[in-house]
Structure 1
Amino acid sequence: MTLVAGVHESHGATFADRGGVRVAAEYGRPDRAARAVRNVVGVIEMGYGVVTVTGDDRVEFVDNAVSNRVPHEDGAGCYALLCDPQGRIETDLYIYNAGERLLLFTPPERAAPVADDWSEKTFIQDVEISVATSEFGVFGVHGAKATEKIASVLNGASTPEAHLQFVRGTMGDDGVTVIRGDGLAGEEGYEVICTADRAESVFDTLINNGLNAAPFGYRTWDALTLEAGTPLYHTELEGQIPNVLGLRNALDFEKGCYVGQEVVSRVENRGQPSRRLVGLRSESLPEAGATVRAAGESIGEVTRAAESPMLEEPIALALVAFDAPTDDLAIEVSKASDDASDSRTQSGDDGEIHDATRESLPFVDGSDRSARLPDYGED
């Protein structure tokens, strides 16, 4: 649940549920907020679940469970996956080595299941696992001038340079940890972590002190990450095999086995995946699950779509057959959601068929490149 609801409301925010957590959805003009991020900088309160892992065996324990190698050095992080025995993604997570403990950021509804499951598997290892979501405030700072913004308010440390590295410092009287993000919005980005009781003060500093920043909500976040070609947990990742998404930044195939690693490795080594994640432009805004067609034949479905604030037209991510044709593409938009008329629109049995074109990802180039941009190992 948001820690600064009153401040969001003072800026005109409306709220929505995301993974069982109340978050700021928008501030009245989400497209304007998106352009503010692309041109300057914006701030969003992130709705993460947080898990802490302590004990002498903490790094070894987590490293054996996840898809990427957990860093041993304080101040470093990684992006990783938890996969089921069939190699499908159960959750994604960021793991940070904070000295005497590991901090794990998960989708909000996944923190408790991960902590409960791991607590039953510690055996004789010196590991203690706790859900700590309510103990921390986390704010994302994204934009073409995000580095300038952080530098203008961070004291006692320089901004971290490498993705997923972090430093400790202060903002005013508040102690904070600042993580260099991995470009999910396609712009320079940082996450600022503070204790829950200092969240309101830190949010105010990020909005009003130093270089001013625009507050933005999850509706804008979804549009920005879509423009950047970033697959997200709730729309693209959950239940998929990583190589279908080209999600190489979350995998270290040289490390020891974890649950699902054998399946993921076998699928990876077998060659190309059965499907791939692609970008589409459409004449009309489709819904998630809308059928993608090539020459009239179904080749896949839309995972997420939005009106692009920067391109000012509908864009979408879709999972389609890996070798599907790239010409004569169309998206079947349900009649209930279709309020556009066009001479090139055809009637289908279940909805309206609208022309679409495949586009290279990202849709929009910004000051950084998303680390999750699909990579299928092609030249």
Structure 2
Amino acid sequence: MMSGFALVPGAVLDETGLLHVGNPVVEQRRLAAGSAVAPLGDRRVIAVSGEDRLSWLDSLSSQALTHLAPGEGTELLILDPQGHIEHAASVVDDGETTWLITDAADAEGLLAWLMRMRFRLRVAPRDASEEFAVIGGTRAAVEALGVAAPNEVPLVWRDPWPGVATGGWAYAVVDPHPGTGRDWAEAIVPRAEEDRIADAASRGELAVAGLIAADALRVAAWRPRWSTEVDERALPHELDWLRTAVHLEKGCYRGQETVAKVHNLGHPPRRLVALDLDGSESVLPARGAAVRVGDDVVGVVTSVAQHHEDGPIALALVRRTTPTDATLTIDADEVRVAGAQEVIVPPEAGATASIPRLTRLSRRAQVQ
């Protein structure tokens, strides 16, 4: 689906899509400034039509969707009965169809599950990925593409992260949150528009960025993603995903009891941390690399990036009881890379009345 971008000067692609066009660090700056857009070949589009679509999705997911206005964006999680994350999707409705943007690896499973849950309701989920692609960038950059649904509602999902949506809850209490001011949106565009973007980029008329650049901006904002941070045990609380994907006051849905119990009475068994990695070894750990305190494995790396301001960074899931001041090392090839830990989800998250605000001590903050 992404072959058109092979003609862009410097383009490097794999089966997921356009990885970069020569310099992912420069591409990050252009994406953040709104002077480039990113074809997101690792996304898929599911369209749900029918009169019952919003109330139906509301009943199945962690998010309150019944009164979602046309053009308004949100996101949802599908949980198993024990509250573990099974599927995730970004959501935008155009008044006639609800559009779900999913990770490519999750799309088939999510669609199959939705098809099984239709019963007699007036809903018709379908895979729309052959017809539509996803383009990411700043809100202004993707809205400039001028793509709208047949009823003229722009099919643009504006990422609510790191805001706290109605019914949501924030565990990360650093000040400022690294995602504050983050401007990210994703447009659902016809494949013909994707071809036009690729053609313009190949002629040097439009700047594009690759998936590596887009993901680095996400990691720096501590933004969880299904294809990276989620495993078979993941709870929304562990990832600070109650912010934007869970409505704690809505009606019943599968997994709600666990969500409420962990939030009100217990603590999530793991917690997401950000890692400022030591770059002196000139090697980055891979996703899945062990995180250690001394020789003891306390967690696993979920995402890694080379950020244009923060340098080498990562996200990792560690045991809740891992001391917040512990010196962490990460397995990388034949060496261990040191990682300065920044608390995202505090160990006391969950059954707690209040959590003190912390000052962020990242490299970016130090420079400023």
- TM normalised by structure 1 equals 0.75
Q: Specify whether residues 333 and 214 from structure 1 end up closer, same or farther in structure 2 by C-alpha distance, changes over 3 A only.
A: same
Unaligned segments of structure 2, at least 5 residues: 163-177, 357-368
Q: What whole-Å deviation, never above 9, does each CA across 1:234-267 have from its counterpart, x for those lacking one?
A: 1102431111111111001211222222222222
Equivalent in 7, 16, 27 of residue 21 of structure 2: 27
State how far apart, in whole Å, the 2-side matches of 1:92 and 1:133 are.
16
Aligned to 1:95: 91
Aligned to 1:279: 274
Moved more, 85-94 or 40-49: 40-49
State how far apart, in whole Å, the 1-side matches of 2:72 and 2:155 are.
12
Q: Specify whether residues 85 and 152 from structure 1 end up closer, same or farther in structure 2 by C-alpha distance, changes over 3 A only.
A: closer
Q: Check the 8 A contact 2:63/2:245 in 1, yes or no.
A: yes
Q: Specify whether residues 328 and 353 from structure 1 end up closer, same or farther in structure 2 by C-alpha distance, changes over 3 A only.
A: farther
Q: Specify whether residues 286 and 58 from structure 1 end up closer, same or farther in structure 2 by C-alpha distance, changes over 3 A only.
A: same
State how far apart, in whole Å, the 1-side matches of 2:249 and 2:31 are.
37
State how far apart, in whole Å, the 1-side matches of 2:288 and 2:143 are.
42
- Whether 1:191 aligns to 2:186 is yes
Q: What whole-Å deviation, never above 9, does each CA across 1:215-247 have from its counterpart, x for those lacking one?
A: 111111222211221122111024311111111
Aligned to 1:291: 290
Task: Tell me which amino acid in the other structure corresponds to 2:13.
Answer: F
Aligned to 1:46: 40
State how far apart, in whole Å, the 2-side matches of 1:288 and 1:205 are.
34
Moved more, 117-126 or 197-206: 197-206
Q: Check the 8 A contact 1:43/1:207 in 2, yes or no.
A: no
State how far apart, in whole Å, the 2-side matches of 1:189 and 1:207 are.
24
Q: Check the 8 A contact 2:61/2:253 in 1, yes or no.
A: yes
Aligned to 1:348: none
Equivalent in 118, 132, 135 of residue 131 of structure 2: 135
- Displacement of 1:120 in angstroms is 2.5
- Displacement of 1:316 in angstroms is 1.5
- Whether 1:243 aligns to 2:243 is no
RMSD: 3.1
State how far apart, in whole Å, the 2-side matches of 1:293 and 1:155 are.
47
Unaligned segments of structure 1, at least 5 residues: 157-166, 170-175, 339-351, 363-374
- Displacement of 1:106 in angstroms is 1.2
Aligned to 1:341: none
Partner of 2:247, secondary structure, is coil
Aligned length: 323
- Displacement of 1:329 in angstroms is 0.9
Task: Tell me which amino acid in the other structure corresponds to 1:65.
Answer: L
Task: Tell me which amino acid in the other structure corresponds to 1:319.
Answer: L
Q: Specify whether residues 153 and 360 from structure 1 end up closer, same or farther in structure 2 by C-alpha distance, changes over 3 A only.
A: same
Q: Check the 8 A contact 1:305/1:316 in 2, yes or no.
A: yes
- Displacement of 1:305 in angstroms is 2.0
Aligned to 2:119: 123
- Displacement of 1:75 in angstroms is 1.9
Partner of 1:319, secondary structure, is strand
State how far apart, in whole Å, the 2-side matches of 1:297 and 1:322 are.
14
Q: Specify whether residues 152 and 72 from structure 1 end up closer, same or farther in structure 2 by C-alpha distance, changes over 3 A only.
A: closer
Q: Check the 8 A contact 1:228/1:361 in 2, yes or no.
A: no
Equivalent in 66, 80, 95 of residue 84 of structure 1: 80
Q: Specify whether residues 153 and 245 from structure 1 end up closer, same or farther in structure 2 by C-alpha distance, changes over 3 A only.
A: closer
Partner of 2:48, secondary structure, is strand
Q: Specify whether residues 203 and 139 from structure 1 end up closer, same or farther in structure 2 by C-alpha distance, changes over 3 A only.
A: farther
Equivalent in 331, 334, 338 of residue 333 of structure 1: 331
Q: Check the 8 A contact 1:303/1:318 in 2, yes or no.
A: yes
State how far apart, in whole Å, the 2-side matches of 1:357 and 1:34 are.
23
- Displacement of 1:134 in angstroms is 0.9
Task: Tell me which amino acid in the other structure corresponds to 2:53.
Answer: R
Partner of 1:42, secondary structure, is coil
Q: Check the 8 A contact 1:330/1:353 in 2, yes or no.
A: no
State how far apart, in whole Å, the 2-side matches of 1:328 and 1:119 are.
46
Equivalent in 209, 214, 226 of residue 219 of structure 2: 226
- Displacement of 1:274 in angstroms is 1.7
- TM normalised by structure 2 equals 0.77
Within a 5 Å distance, the mapping from 1:1-379 to structure 2 comes to: 1-2=1-2, 5-18=3-16, 23-47=17-41, 48-70=43-65, 71-142=67-138, 147=140, 149=141, 154=146, 168=152, 177-182=155-160, 186=179, 187-202=182-197, 214-239=207-232, 240-248=234-242, 249-283=244-278, 284=281, 285-294=284-293, 296-312=295-311, 314-334=312-332, 337-338=333-334, 352-359=335-342, 378-379=355-356
Q: Check the 8 A contact 1:69/1:252 in 2, yes or no.
A: yes
Q: Specify whether residues 272 and 355 from structure 1 end up closer, same or farther in structure 2 by C-alpha distance, changes over 3 A only.
A: same
Task: Tell me which amino acid in the other structure corresponds to 2:10.
Answer: G
Q: What whole-Å deviation, never above 9, does each CA across 1:330-364 have from its counterpart, x for those lacking one?
A: 31424xx24xxxxxxxxxxxxx34433113669xx
Aligned to 2:363: none
User: Could you tell me the percent identity over the aligned residues?
Assistant: 29
- Displacement of 1:308 in angstroms is 2.6
State how far apart, in whole Å, the 2-side matches of 1:155 and 1:92 are.
24
